[in-house]
Structure 1
Amino acid sequence: MDDRTGMGFDKNMTTAPNTLARPTRNPLRTGTLLLATVTTGLTAGVYTDWSNTIMPGLGDVDDRTFVTAFQSLDAAIMNPLFLGVEFTGSLLLIALALALHMRSGQRATLVWLSVALAAYLVSVVITMGVNEPLNQQLRSVTDSTSDADFAAARAMLDEARWTAWNTVRALATLTAFGSLAWSLVIHQRR
């Protein structure tokens, strides 16, 4: 006779598998979180690159070169891959990952996903409120011919303001990326 049966344990209770030990894996949740992390990392890399290399490099050139190069770089970045996958896709994937984790019982993951979404939203607000309007002003300059025209166009961009706010959005997207990476670690541990 089993000693445990005399203590109020049913024999079936002691031999049944523990189904509560590990939550069921959800490939959609994991995949969405992974894609959100990758696309946000790419966006953070673009903004960080502009802050650390492109703008300092352009800061050392004459007005004509600055305006021409900035306009060319701006035109190149306005492509479906960056705008659709990285910029907009990251925001949608973070929001979807958060929604998919709502009922998962993974509170720590939810907290870090919320931080990631808030940080990424900060970068979107900065982009739409500061950087993109300044870019649009420089895009509107098409008939520069003299050195004075190029100097006026460069001043219109407000290089110092553009760079300062780009650095803030780089930090915001890096925060989002770090939060997503940590969310992925926590998610995989559970």
Structure 2
Amino acid sequence: MVTAIGTRFDGVMLDDIRTLALLAATMTTGLMAGYFGLYAHTIMPGLKSAGDHVFIASFQALDRAIINPWFMVSGFLGSLVFTAAATALSLGSEQRSLLPWAAGALVLYLVAFVTTIAVHLPLNDALKAAGPPDRITDLAGVRAAFDETRWVRWNVLRTLTTSVAFVCLAWSLVLQGRLAG
């Protein structure tokens, strides 16, 4: 069959593209689950016991460092794009049994994505906007306004949703393998 872009796809080639999309979605979603999990079980508990100056300086440094092309492509945006592609490639295919798993992973990742934009980014940006910790006169007030408890609580949601999305995508790969074999 000839597509609008003029490339010929037969059943095998489409299956290969779907498998690659599923692999990329699984890998990037797994990376995001690990990233959110690392914050949940190591970074935030470690920073919780730090003094206000150390907490603010460390969190600001981490937040500045995370905004980079590698993180955006290999995880945060990559997971969304690859999972959406895997879901779309399962529509109307002979392997439609993949669709609920890929779509479920997409919905779960969207929850984490929206949570990041709606909750975490505003909190992170407000902490950065406070300026360098050496120039902040009320470190305790800035830290309290950051609302660590809220940040952590919503991060647990991101950790859970991306972890379950990862499982859904891994199961999609198992099903893809069974259907191809």
Question: Which residue in the other structure is 2:3 paired with?
Answer: none
Question: Which residue in the other structure is 1:188 paired with?
Answer: 177
Separation in 1, partners of 2:112, 2:35: 12
In the alignment, residue 176 of structure 2 is paired with which amino acid? H
Separation in 2, partners of 1:38, 1:143: 36
Question: RMSD in angstroms over aligned alpha carbons?
Answer: 1.5
Tell me the TM-score normalised to structure 1 length: 0.84
- For structure 1, which segment, 79-88 or 179-188, has the greater mean C-alpha deviation from structure 2 after superposition? 79-88
Separation in 1, partners of 2:63, 2:115: 16
User: What percentage of aligned pairs have identical amino acids?
Assistant: 45
Structure 1 residues 18-71: Cα deviation after superposition (integer angstroms, max 9, x where no partner): xxxxx7462111111101100000011000000010000000110000000001
- Choose from 124, 134, 149 the match for 2:113: 124
Query: Are 2:131 and 1:142 equivalent residues in the alignment?
Result: yes
Separation in 1, partners of 2:68, 2:135: 30
The equivalences for 1:35-184 within 5 A come to 35-145=24-134, 149-184=138-173
Tell me the TM-score normalised to structure 2 length: 0.88
Contact 2:57–2:132 (8 Å) recurs in 1:
no
In the alignment, residue 57 of structure 2 is paired with which amino acid? T
- The offset of 1:157, in angstroms, is 1.1
Q: State the structure with more CA Rg.
A: 1
Structure 1 segments of 4 or more deviating over 6 A?
none
Which stretches in structure 2 are left out of the alignment for 5+ residues?
1-10
Separation in 1, partners of 2:132, 2:111: 35
Separation in 2, partners of 1:144, 1:65: 8
- The offset of 1:107, in angstroms, is 2.9
Structure 1 residues 74-118: Cα deviation after superposition (integer angstroms, max 9, x where no partner): 111111111232101110100101111112222321110011000
